[in-house]
């Protein structure tokens, strides 16, 4: 038999709308209400300021290990902007910009990284799963949610996020294969920030792109400039509409860059060069989108000043809310099972008795009153 190329039906494209210096490809510009454009900018700025504050809190010993999102705000915000409130979001741990858009309070984000269970609680009525640090495990959750949504048959979609390092995990591949086989309403967004902690993308796969992995699963894939908010919106709108109308899953590779450390537990200078970081700094999504709004007459010094003041006030209140939160260790038992097992129930009562005895000892004459646990 003569050799002939196989026919692959999946579509694979690259996409960019806004250049790093703010130049627009008008033919690809998405239609977005002016009010939404301003709110998108404020949300991106709020995410950046929140990120900076959390890093400061960690360095001051007021927060645990923290994973910054600096430079990756557009990848999550542009994609999540395309969701309806009834859709589901399954984040990893660098999606704070999009989570703010969905209604997550700043102080809840701080509580998560502060080690409090309250940081895992989505706002009332928000169809989101909590932040997920274990690599690629959320891919399976996203697939499962998408399967449930298909069974419900109400035209809702699930959007999951992961990093380039997650594409080396079995959970990612199993989720993608299952989503394609069962034609699930799922959008998988890979935040390709080029580094899985200290492992570069080139050591994760020999493929020239991560988007092309979609071909093996039998779904559409697209590689998007993840620092271009407009491009993320264009690509994700198409993927969401396709999923909502029964067209199945899409794999989106958002090409971005982690400008800060993986988390405060590592030193990126040990494994990547400063010149590489400098090369990516001009592609920062925040000033890029700022220039776009200025060119449209939607952002000037007066509007910028108002936005800066609003974000600063919201951030200060968030820090107060976070640092005034009191924690009861008994809560450890409240988030495990709907009904505690006999052993855990006994342990809960043992801990309660111990804490009460310590409290009584501190309050005894001659001893100062106990301070609340923070």
The active-site residue, picked from 271, 362, 367, 374, is 271
Q: Distances in Å between the alpha carbon of 83 and those of 45, 78, 221, 263, 374?
A: 20, 10, 19, 28, 35
Q: What is d(CA 67, CA 266) in angstroms, rounded to the nearest whole number?
A: 10
Q: Name which of 116, 94, 133, 120 is nearest 261 in CA terms.
A: 94
Can 217 be counted among the known catalytic residues? no
Q: Which residues pair with 318 in a beta bridge?
A: none
The active-site residue, picked from 48, 53, 107, 262, is 262
The active-site residue, picked from 94, 107, 156, 258, is 258
Can 262 be counted among the known catalytic residues? yes
Q: Name which of 184, 182, 249 is nearest 222 in CA terms.
A: 249
Q: Distances in Å between the alpha carbon of 298 and those of 40, 236, 305?
A: 12, 24, 13
Q: Which residues pair with 163 in a beta bridge?
A: 191
Q: What is d(CA 253, CA 284) in angstroms, rounded to the nearest whole number?
A: 17
Look at strands 250-255 and 186-192 and give their pairing. parallel
- The pairs formed by 148-154 with CB atoms below 8 angstroms and a separation of 24 or more are 149/88, 149/184, 149/185, 150/182, 150/183, 150/184, 150/185, 154/86
Contact 292, 32 (CB under 8 A): no
Q: What is d(CA 127, CA 289) in angstroms, rounded to the nearest whole number?
A: 28
Handedness of CA 216, 131, 282, 238 (dihedral sign): positive
166: CB partners within 8 A, 6+ apart: 92, 135, 136, 139, 172, 190, 196
Can 49 be counted among the known catalytic residues? no
Q: Which residues pair with 192 in a beta bridge?
A: 255
How long is the chain? 374
Contact 217, 176 (CB under 8 A): yes
Q: Which residues are catalytic?
A: 258, 262, 271
């Amino acid at each position: 038999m003569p050799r002939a190329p196989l026919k692959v039906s999946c579509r694979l494209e690259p996409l960019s709308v806004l250049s790093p210096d703010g130049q627009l490809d008008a033919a690809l510009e998405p239609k977005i209400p002016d009010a939404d454009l301003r709110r998108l900018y404020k949300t991106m700025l709020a995410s950046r300021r929140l990120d900076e504050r959390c890093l400061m809190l960690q360095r001051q010993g007021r927060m645990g290990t923290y994973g910054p999102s600096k430079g990756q705000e557009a990848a999550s915000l542009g994609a999540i902007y395309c969701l309806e409130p009834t859709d589901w979001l399954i984040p990893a741990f660098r999606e704070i910009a999009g989570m703010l858009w969905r209604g997550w309070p700043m102080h809840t984000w701080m509580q998560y990284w502060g080690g409090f269970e309250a940081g895992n609680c989505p706002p009332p009525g928000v169809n989101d799963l909590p932040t997920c640090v274990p690599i690629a495990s959320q891919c399976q959750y996203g697939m499962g949610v998408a399967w449930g949504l298909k069974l419900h048959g109400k035209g809702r979609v699930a959007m999951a996020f992961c990093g380039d390092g997650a594409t080396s995990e079995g959970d990612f591949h199993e989720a993608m294969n299952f989503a394609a086989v069962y034609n699930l309403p799922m959008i998988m967004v890979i935040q390709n920030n080029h580094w899985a902690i200290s492992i570069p993308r080139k050591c994760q796969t020999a493929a020239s792109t991560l988007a092309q992995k979609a071909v093996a699963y039998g779904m559409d894939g697209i590689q998007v400039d993840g620092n271009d908010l407009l491009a993320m919106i264009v690509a994700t709108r198409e993927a969401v509409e396709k999923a909502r109308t029964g067209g199945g899953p899409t794999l989106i590779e958002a090409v971005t860059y982690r400008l800060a450390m993986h988390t405060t537990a590592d030193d990126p200078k040990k494994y990547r060069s400063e010149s590489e970081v400098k090369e990516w700094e001009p592609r920062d999504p925040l000033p890029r989108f700022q220039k776009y709004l200025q060119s449209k007459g939607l952002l000037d010094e007066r509007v910028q000043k108002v936005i800066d003041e609003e974000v600063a006030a919201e951030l200060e209140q968030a820090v107060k809310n976070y640092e005034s939160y009191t924690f009861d260790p008994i809560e450890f038992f409240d988030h495990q099972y709907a009904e505690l097992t006999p052993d855990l129930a006994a342990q809960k009562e043992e801990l309660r008795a111990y804490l009460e005895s310590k409290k009584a000892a501190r309050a005894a004459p001659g001893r100062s009153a106990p301070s609340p646990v923070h």
